[in-house]
C-alpha cells in the first residue's frame, strides 16, 4: 500500500507523515455540501472503524506529529470506536490530535471520551450563530449548541479548539455576521483558532438548484473584511486566507498540507501525499471496507507531480499564507494596481505577502505566479531567522518555498 516509494529518502531521514482519517457519516446533509459523506450508513460505523484500524496497521511506519479526524462528522462515531481509532494511531510526544465535531454531538460525556482518546484539539462546525442563517444553509443545529459544546470541551480539559464559520449564506446581513463573530469571540473560553470560509455553490447540491440562496461575491468580500478586522482586533491573526489563530495555536496539521508535507490517508475518499505522489482512496465506505477486508489496496487512483509542478504548487500554497512568496515570483513593478495586492513581508526583504485586498483577489494573483530564478547568495545571509525575525509563526512557515 503506502510504502516508501523508490527514490525516496529512507523513512528515518524524513519527517513522519501526518495521518488524516476520513469519517464519512453525517446525521443529515447540509444544503451546500458536496463532501464524501453519507446519511444512511451509520450501521457501517463499527466495520468501518475496523477497516481503518487494519489500514493504519498496514501503512503507518512512524509516530505521527499530527492526526486529523475529519469528515463527514467524526463525532457521529460511537465513542468506543473513536477511542480505538485514536489508540491505534502511533503518535509522537506532544502530537496535535484534532477531531472535527458538530456542536450538537458534543455532550460532556462525548468531550470526556474525546479527551480520554487523546484529542488535543476540537474543530467545531458552528458555521453561524444566527438560526435563520443556519436554516438557509440547511444546517439542523441550534446556535445554543455551540455554547454548551464549548463548555463541555473546556470541562473535559481540552484547551484548544477551533470554530468553523461560513459567510454569505441566505438571510445573513453585515449585522448578523458581526453578531456571529462577536458571539464566537465571547464564548467561554474563547476559541484559539477560527476558520471562516466563503459559501460556495457546488454542483449537484440543493443549494445549486436554488439561485435565490446563491451568495453575492461583493457581499462576501465585505463579510471577509469584517471577519478579518474583528478577529485581528481580538488577537487572532490571519496565517492563511481562511484561517486566523492566536500565536502558537495555528493548525500544525493544516500547515503541513500548505508546506507540501507528507500525510497518510485512512478511510474512504481520504487523500494522501508522500514525496510528490498523491493518491485518494475508494470513495464509498462499502468499497473501502471491502478492499481492506480482502487485503486489497483501497487506493482509487494516484498521480505524481514532477519537480517543476511541485515548485509551482509550493508557490501557490505559500501565497495564501502569511509567509508569502519571493517577490521575484510575481511580475511586480509593471502595474501599480497589481502591486497594491502585495506588500513586503515584515520579516524578509525578498518576500511579499498578500494585502487584505490581495487576499480577496488571491486567485487572480496566483495566475501571475512564476518560478523565480535561483537567488544569488549574499554574504552573511542564508537563513531567514538571520534577518532578525524569530517569531513562532514565521518559524512554522519558514520552510515554505
Which residues contribute to the site for ligand SF4 (CB under 6 A)? 26, 29-30, 33, 35, 37, 71-73, 102, 125
Measured from the CB of residue 205, what is the shortest distance to ligand SF4 in angstroms?
9
Would you say 72 or 261 has its CB closer to ligand SF4? 72
Measured from the CB of residue 23, what is the shortest distance to ligand SF4 in angstroms?
9
Distance CA 198, CA 205 (A): 16
Would you say 71 or 168 has its CB closer to ligand SF4? 71
The answer to whether 326 and 350 are in contact (CB under 8 A) is: yes
Would you say 72 or 272 has its CB closer to ligand SF4? 72
Would you say 73 or 243 has its CB closer to ligand SF4? 73
Distance CA 93, CA 192 (A): 21
Distance CA 160, CA 314 (A): 28
Would you say 125 or 267 has its CB closer to ligand SF4? 125
The answer to whether 301 and 286 are in contact (CB under 8 A) is: no
Distance CA 230, CA 219 (A): 17
Would you say 148 or 399 has its CB closer to ligand SF4? 148
Distance CA 300, CA 322 (A): 34
> Grid coordinates in use for 325?
512568496
Burial of 319 (0-12, 13-18, 19+ CB in 10 A): buried
Measured from the CB of residue 105, what is the shortest distance to ligand SF4 in angstroms?
10
Q: DSSP letter at 89? A: S
> Grid coordinates in use for 334?
509593471
Measured from the CB of residue 186, what is the shortest distance to ligand SF4 in angstroms?
24
Would you say 49 or 73 has its CB closer to ligand SF4? 73
DSSP-derived 3-state class of residue 174:
helix
Stated as kind and residue range, the H or E segment containing 280 is strand 277-281
The answer to whether 44 and 288 are in contact (CB under 8 A) is: no
Measured from the CB of residue 139, what is the shortest distance to ligand SF4 in angstroms?
7
Q: Is the dihedral of CA 289, 105, 251, 183 positive or negative?
A: positive
Beta strands at 18-23 and 263-266: parallel, antiparallel or unpaired: parallel
Q: Which of 398, 123, 392 is nearest to 237 (CA)?
A: 392
Measured from the CB of residue 317, what is the shortest distance to ligand SF4 in angstroms?
23
Residue number closest to ligand SF4, CB atom: 33
Would you say 30 or 85 has its CB closer to ligand SF4? 30
Distance CA 216, CA 198 (A): 10
Measured from the CB of residue 114, what is the shortest distance to ligand SF4 in angstroms?
17
Residues 6+ apart with CB under 8 A from 301: 279, 280
User: 319's torsion region: left (phi>0), alpha (psi -120 to 50) or beta?
Assistant: alpha
> Grid coordinates in use for 55?
489500514
Would you say 69 or 341 has its CB closer to ligand SF4? 69
Q: Is the dihedral of CA 45, 32, 280, 66 positive or negative?
A: negative
Would you say 71 or 136 has its CB closer to ligand SF4? 71
Q: DSSP letter at 318? A: H
Amino acid at each position: 500500500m503506502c510504502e516508501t516509494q523508490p527514490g525516496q529518502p529512507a523513512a528515518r531521514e524524513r519527517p513522519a507523515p501526518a495521518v488524516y482519517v476520513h469519517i464519512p457519516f453525517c446525521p443529515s446533509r447540509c444544503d451546500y455540501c458536496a463532501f464524501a459523506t453519507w446519511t444512511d450508513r451509520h450501521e457501517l460505523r463499527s466495520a468501518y472503524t475496523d477497516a481503518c484500524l487494519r489500514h493504519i496497521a498496514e501503512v503507518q511506519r512512524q509516530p505521527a506529529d499530527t492526526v486529523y479526524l475529519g469528515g463527514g462528522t467524526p463525532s457521529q462515531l460511537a465513542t468506543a470506536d473513536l477511542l480505538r481509532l485514536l489508540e491505534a494511531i502511533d503518535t509522537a510526544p506532544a502530537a496535535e490530535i484534532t477531531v472535527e465535531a458538530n456542536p450538537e454531538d458534543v455532550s460532556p460525556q462525548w468531550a470526556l471520551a474525546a479527551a480520554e482518546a487523546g484529542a488535543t484539539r476540537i474543530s467545531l462546525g458552528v458555521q453561524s450563530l444566527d438560526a435563520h442563517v443556519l436554516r438557509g444553509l440547511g444546517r439542523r443545529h441550534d446556535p445554543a449548541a455551540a455554547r454548551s459544546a464549548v463548555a463541555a470541551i473546556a470541562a473535559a480539559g481540552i484547551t484548544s479548539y477551533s470554530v468553523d464559520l461560513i459567510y454569505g449564506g441566505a438571510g445573513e446581513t453585515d449585522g448578523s455576521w458581526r453578531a456571529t463573530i462577536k458571539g464566537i469571540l465571547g464564548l467561554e473560553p474563547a476559541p484559539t483558532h477560527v476558520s471562516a470560509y466563503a459559501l460556495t455553490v457546488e454542483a449537484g447540491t440543493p443549494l445549486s438548484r436554488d439561485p435565490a440562496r446563491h451568495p453575492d461575491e461583493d457581499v462576501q468580500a465585505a463579510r471577509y473584511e469584517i471577519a478579518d478586522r474583528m478577529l485581528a482586533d481580538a488577537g487572532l491573526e490571519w496565517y492563511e486566507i481562511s484561517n486566523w489563530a492566536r500565536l502558537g495555536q495555528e493548525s500544525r496539521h493544516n500547515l503541513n498540507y500548505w508546506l507540501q508535507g507528507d500525510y497518510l490517508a485512512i478511510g474512504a475518499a481520504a487523500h494522501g501525499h508522500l514525496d510528490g505522489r498523491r493518491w485518494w482512496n475508494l470513495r464509498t465506505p462499502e468499497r473501502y471496507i471491502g478492499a481492506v477486508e480482502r487485503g486489497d489496496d483501497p487506493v482509487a487512483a494516484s498521480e505524481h507531480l514532477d519537480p517543476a509542478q511541485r515548485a509551482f504548487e509550493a508557490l501557490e500554497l505559500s501565497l495564501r499564507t502569511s509567509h508569502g512568496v519571493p517577490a521575484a515570483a510575481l511580475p511586480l513593478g509593471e502595474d501599480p494596481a497589481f502591486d497594491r495586492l502585495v506588500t513586503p513581508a515584515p520579516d524578509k526583504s525578498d518576500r511579499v505577502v498578500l494585502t487584505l485586498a490581495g487576499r480577496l483577489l488571491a486567485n487572480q494573483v496566483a495566475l501571475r505566479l512564476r518560478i523565480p530564478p535561483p537567488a544569488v547568495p549574499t554574504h552573511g545571509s542564508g537563513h531567514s531567522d538571520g534577518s532578525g525575525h524569530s517569531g513562532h509563526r514565521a518559524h512554522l512557515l519558514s520552510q515554505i518555498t
